[in-house]
C-alpha cells in the first residue's frame, strides 16, 4: 500500500510538470520560458507571446527566465 501511494504521488508530479503552461516569445530565437504571461522578461517581445508546455519548452532547450528564478 505504501509503495502504491508513493507511485501515485510520483506520477502526479510527473504529469503536472509536463502539462504546466509556460509562455514564450515566438521570435524564433527565444531561449527562455516564463511561468507568468506578464513577466518582466516578456516585456521586450516584439512578436507574439505563445503558450506552450513546460515539457516542450525544456525539450526545445529553453530555460527559465532570470526574472522568475
The pLDDT score that the predictor gives to residue 57 is 96
The pLDDT score that the predictor gives to residue 10 is 57
Instruction: Write the pLDDT tens digit of every residue in 44-63.
Output: 999 999 999 999 999 999 99
- Whose grid coordinates read 527565444? 30
Boundaries of domain holding 51: 2-68
The pLDDT score that the predictor gives to residue 1 is 73
Task: Count the residues in the chain.
Answer: 69
3-state SS class at 2? helix
The pLDDT score that the predictor gives to residue 12 is 56
Instruction: Write the pLDDT tens digit of every residue in 1-55.
Output: 767 555 565 555 555 555 799 999 999 889 999 999 999 999 999 999 999 999 9
Total of domains in the chain: 1
Amino acid at each position: 500500500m505504501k509503495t502504491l501511494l508513493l507511485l501515485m504521488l510520483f506520477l502526479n508530479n510527473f504529469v503536472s510538470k509536463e502539462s504546466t503552461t509556460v509562455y514564450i516569445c515566438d521570435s524564433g530565437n527565444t531561449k527562455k520560458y516564463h511561468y507568468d504571461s506578464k513577466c518582466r522578461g516578456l516585456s521586450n517581445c516584439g512578436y507574439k507571446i505563445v503558450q506552450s508546455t513546460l515539457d516542450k519548452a525544456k525539450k526545445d532547450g529553453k530555460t527559465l527566465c532570470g526574472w522568475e528564478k
